[in-house]
Chain A
Amino acid sequence: MWSLQKIANTIHEWLNTTFNSTIATTIEMVIAGVAVITLFALLGLVLVLMERRIAAWMQIRLGPNRVGPQGLLQSMADTIKLLVKEGLTPNGADKFLFNLAPFIAMIVAMLLMAPIAFAKDFQLWDLNIGVLYISSVSSIMVISILMAGWSSNNKYSLMGAMRSGAQIVSYELSAGLAILTIIVPIGSLQFSEIVQSQVNGWWIFKGHIPAIIAFVIFMIAVTAETNRAPFDLAEAESELTAGFHTEYSGMKFALFFLSEYVNVFIVCAVGATLFLGGWMPFHIGHWESFNHMMDYIPSSVWFFGKTFALIFLIMWFRWTFPRLRIDQLLNLEWKYLLPISMFNLLLMTALAILGWYF
């Protein structure tokens, strides 16, 4: 049985026996960097195609199916097209901030990869405050959006950036409270411990009612945080052209686009880790033989399977719900989600102290 952890260990041992430790560490860093960049590019290509195919499927049309078998090379062709487009800077734009914004978006998306457990014992940095790290780094994202909107010298961009700022900071609260609801019975912010605590069942089953409420709130909040429909007010086409990236073209636009899709992947990965057990196979209590059978499926397959299932859910939202108005959006957060998630946290705390979870 293959696993990502074994491959990583083999490379690590081979490097350390062949070279001295300094060179081995440097080579490992380079490999890690290249691996993450490859993952980024692959995610971009796969998710864009997935989105378009799912959209087509839900609207009973064909979608991209000409370039390559089943349209598999469509996003490759799109990348090449974007590569040969000119990156314009509008007159009167703040050139420095305008060019800095896509870099910040990419850096944030990349930094969020660090604590995510892709497979058993396979993550870049298993830091003990992993969840706090994710929620703090992901809030830097809003700076890049505000920067892009402000520096574009375009009223629509500015309006889109302001809307998106108000929206992201608002929904961060209920996303954070939903995460904390799961942290209370676990008692740790470390990703490996969170996954390990689900060895006898995932939290969405173990934590029953409060965990399910928290899961629903989490999915709503992250959909809003990643600026996706039905919360895509920041780039409402009928009102604001394209929102904060109206003035971006060519590769700079592609970077925003890519970081948006990678963010969707990351929030779904966090959701899968917290609620659906991350790389942990589907286990039921003390059914030893059943659990052994499930262990034969590699842990990375479990992780990516769950993550893509959640991504599918988020894409499904997009083609199901109509877009909200800004006042409806803020009402939903402040008058419904926030009080509910606060009450839910209290409920979960009481249940955790009483030990009323499986």
Chain B
Amino acid sequence: MGASSLIVLIIAAIAFSGIAILVSSLVLKGSTNKQKGEPYECGIPTTGKTWVQLNVGYYLFALIFLIFDVELIFLYPWAVVAKTTGWLAFAEIVVFFFILFMGFLYAHKKGALKWI
């Protein structure tokens, strides 16, 4: 079908979820009271703001991920031509991985991969 299938799929997804939510909201008759809208945190009333400060570890991993993900994107076109290019491609990827691995070791040495 080609690229037009993407439009079909997006419309199908929106229609499917939209109709499902619409039907369920038509079927039932909801009631409201004060307790119903409270966030469910094991039944006790919640204290303080929800959007608290989080462990910095998550952000560190996100940063390292960014480096490696860009590396992965570079590898896709390389992987397609690697076999036909032969040993030159292999040498290039060894150099690439060596530099990357140095960065990885640096992050490891700095303790960025340790969960605090």
Instruction: Write the A71-97 contact mask toward B (1 if CB under 8 angstroms, else 0).
Output: 000000000001111111111110000
Query: Size range of the interface on B?
Result: 35 or more
What is the CA–CA distance of A301 and B52 in the complex, to the nearest angstrom? 50
Please provide the chain A residues from 322 to 352 with a CB less than 8 Å away from any CB of chain B in the complex.
326-327, 330-331, 334-335, 338-339, 342, 345-346, 349-350, 352
Asked if A32 and B21 make an inter-chain contact with CB atoms under 8 angstroms apart, the answer reads no
Which one of A93, A103, A187 lies within 8 Å of B13 (CB-CB)?
Answer: A103
Which one of B14, B64, B76 lies within 8 Å of A103 (CB-CB)?
Answer: B14
Residues of B within 8 A of A113 (CB): 9
Asked if A173 and B68 make an inter-chain contact with CB atoms under 8 angstroms apart, the answer reads yes
What is the CA–CA distance of A342 and B72 in the complex, to the nearest angstrom? 11
Which one of A83, A89, A353 lies within 8 Å of B86 (CB-CB)?
Answer: A353
Nearest CB of chain A from residue B89's CB, rounded to whole Å? 7
Given A83-B23, A106-B17, A187-B83: A155 touches B52 (CB 8 Å cut-off):
yes
Residues of A within 8 A of B93 (CB): 345-346, 349
A220 at the interface (CB under 8 A from B): no
Given A110-B12, A125-B1: A88 touches B21 (CB 8 Å cut-off):
no
A152 at the interface (CB under 8 A from B): yes
Residues of B within 8 A of A254 (CB): 20
Given A114-B9, A176-B72, A346-B94: A158 touches B51 (CB 8 Å cut-off):
yes
Which one of B3, B61, B89 lies within 8 Å of A349 (CB-CB)?
Answer: B89
Please provide the chain A residues from 148 to 176 with a CB less than 8 Å away from any CB of chain B in the complex.
150, 152-156, 158-159, 162-163, 165-166, 169-170, 172-173, 176
B106 at the interface (CB under 8 A from A): no
Nearest CB of chain A from residue B53's CB, rounded to whole Å? 11
Asked if A36 and B81 make an inter-chain contact with CB atoms under 8 angstroms apart, the answer reads no
Which residue in chain B gives the minimum CB-CB distance to A185? B83
Residues of B within 8 A of A37 (CB): 12, 15-16
Asked if A32 and B8 make an inter-chain contact with CB atoms under 8 angstroms apart, the answer reads yes
Asked if A87 and B25 make an inter-chain contact with CB atoms under 8 angstroms apart, the answer reads yes
Asked if A40 and B90 make an inter-chain contact with CB atoms under 8 angstroms apart, the answer reads no
Residues of B within 8 A of A82 (CB): 24
Asked if A153 and B14 make an inter-chain contact with CB atoms under 8 angstroms apart, the answer reads no
Residues of A within 8 A of B28 (CB): 84-86
Asked if B39 and A153 make an inter-chain contact with CB atoms under 8 angstroms apart, the answer reads yes
Asked if A349 and B90 make an inter-chain contact with CB atoms under 8 angstroms apart, the answer reads yes
Asked if B41 and A125 make an inter-chain contact with CB atoms under 8 angstroms apart, the answer reads no
Residues of A within 8 A of B38 (CB): 90-91
Asked if A334 and B41 make an inter-chain contact with CB atoms under 8 angstroms apart, the answer reads no
Of the listed stretches A206-214, A243-251, A272-280, chain B binds: A243-251
Asked if B9 and A124 make an inter-chain contact with CB atoms under 8 angstroms apart, the answer reads yes
Nearest CB of chain B from residue A11's CB, rounded to whole Å? 12
Which residue in chain B gives the minimum CB-CB distance to A131? B76
Residues of B within 8 A of A185 (CB): 83
Asked if B27 and A349 make an inter-chain contact with CB atoms under 8 angstroms apart, the answer reads no
Instruction: Write the A20-42 contact mask toward B (1 if CB under 8 angstroms, else 0).
Output: 00000000110011101100100
Besides A84-B27, A170-B65, A255-B17, 6 more A-B contacts (Cβ < 8 Å) are A83-B23, A154-B39, A154-B46, A170-B61, A180-B72, A327-B115
Chain B positions near chain A (C-beta within 8 angstroms): 1-6, 8-18, 20-21, 23-25, 27-28, 30, 36-42, 46, 50-52, 54, 57-58, 61-62, 64-65, 68-69, 72, 75-76, 79-84, 86-87, 89-90, 93-94, 97, 101, 104, 108, 113, 115
What are 14 A-B residue pairs whose CB atoms fall within 8 Å in the complex? Answer: A29-B4, A33-B9, A37-B12, A37-B15, A83-B24, A107-B9, A111-B13, A125-B2, A132-B76, A154-B39, A173-B68, A247-B40, A252-B21, A331-B113
